[in-house]
Structures are given as C-alpha cells and as structure tokens.
Amino acid sequence: MNLLLAQCDPKAPLLDADTRERVLAALPGWLPDAEAKVIGRRFGFDNFYQVMAFVDAVAEIAHAQDHHPEMLVGYNACTVSWTTHSRGGLTLNDAICAAQVSALPEASGT
C-alpha cells in the first residue's frame, strides 16, 4: 500500500504488533510512545513563520483525511503526534497521515 496516496478509513482496526512494526519501519523519524499507542515526530525550523506554514500544511492533510493530530507548536519546532482516539491506539490512519506529513515540502528542512 502506498501511504502517500491512501485515504483514511473511519473503521480502520488497531494495528497488530507485526503490522505496527512493518508500518513504523516505513516511517523514518516517527517514534512510538512506550505503549505503542501514539507515534510522534519533532520537526525543526529556522523561525516561527516556517513553523506556522508547516502547521497549516498539516492542517490541510488532517482536514482532507478527517483524522487530526496533536501538535505542540513552538518558536522553531513542531511536534506532531498521531493516534486513533476512537480505537485507543494506532491504526493505518495514523501511518497514512504520518507519511503524508513527512512528504510535505515544509517538512524538508527538518
């Protein structure tokens, strides 16, 4: 499956451990939390304007996919975290959105 072209499915099931490991291997820089229920990545920038352009681009993906991250926004960085709250952990939806965020031109300077 090409995560960059995939669409989120509101009924996506939780990833089993084997699938989760394969998916994470395809997402360089994205790290799971201790319980493997959330994946996150920090993106660094030169200034706040670049951070906000990145946040706007992430918002476009989230809106298009109807799947929304947690974001911690600072002067020169933004940490993006994905989980599927309705399932209580990671689904393919989180991987789809993480891959699409990683592919943003705004993410290239990180």
pLDDT of 29: 96
User: Residue 96: exposed, middle, or buried by beta-carbon count in 10 A (0-12, 13-18, 19+)?
Assistant: buried
27-66: pLDDT as tens digits: 999 999 999 999 999 999 999 999 999 999 999 999 999 9
Q: What mean pLDDT value characterizes the chain?
A: 95
Residue 107 pLDDT: 81
> Domains plus CATH for the chain?
17-107 (3.30.1360.20)
Q: Where are the alpha helices (DSSP H) in 6-75?
A: 17-25, 48-65
- What is the C-alpha separation between 89 and 43, in angstroms, rounded? 22
| pLDDT at site 106 | 84
Tell me the C-alpha distance between 35 and 7, whole Å: 25
- Hey, is 38 helix, strand or coil? coil
Q: What is the spatial distance between Cα 65 and Cα 89, in angstroms, rounded to a whole number?
A: 17
